Amino acid sequence: MTAFVALALVLVAVVGTLVVVIQDPLRQALTVSLFGILLGILFFAVQAPDVALSEIVVGAVALPLMILLALAKIRGGTR
């Protein structure tokens, strides 16, 4: 159990760093979705199912959705 928590923590740190390092917002949107899912897994491992549910629906669905819609508007250009 502790090994699983430790693994989840390390993965969260790694993917969090990746989110910052990736400069292209489109790739970042998908990485942040993965980050949300990994955070959800971490929260499950630490016995916090309510928080994990929230983080998964928000971080994997709502947040990348808003980012992608904002990017679609931005890339549509001014016309």
Partner 1 sequence: MSVLAYGVAGWLLLVGLWGIVNSRNLVHQVICVSVVQAATYVLLVAVGYRAGAVAPVFAGVRVGTVAVDPVVQALCLTDVVVGTTVTALLLALVVQWHKRTGSLDPDQLTGRDESD
Partner 2 sequence: MTRRTRQRLFLAAAAVVAAVLAGGLAGLPSFGHATAQDGRILDAVSVPERHITDVVTAVNFDYRGVDTMGEEFIFFAAVAGVILLLGAQPDEAPGHVADAATGRWVPPTSDAVRVLGLALVGPTVLFALYVIAHGHLTPGGGFQGGVVLATAVLLVYLAGEYQHLHGLYPDRAIEGVEAFGAAGYVVIGLAGLALSGSFLANWAPLGTVGHLNSAGSVPLLNVVVGAEIAAGFVLLLSAFLHQTLILRRARAAPGAGR
Q: Which residues of this chain interact with partner 1, rule CB under 8 A?
A: 1-2, 5-6, 9-10, 12-13, 16-17, 19-20, 23, 25, 28-29, 32, 35, 39, 42-43, 46-51, 54-55, 58, 62-63, 66-67, 70-71, 73-74, 78
How far is the C-alpha of 67 from the C-alpha of 54, rounded, in Å? 18
Q: Is residue 23 involved in binding partner 2 (CB under 8 A)?
A: no
How far is the C-alpha of 73 from the C-alpha of 51, rounded, in Å? 31
Q: Is residue 77 involved in binding partner 2 (CB under 8 A)?
A: yes
Q: Is residue 69 involved in binding partner 2 (CB under 8 A)?
A: yes
Cα–Cα distances in angstroms (integers) from residue 43 to residues 6, 32, 38, in the given order: 12, 16, 9
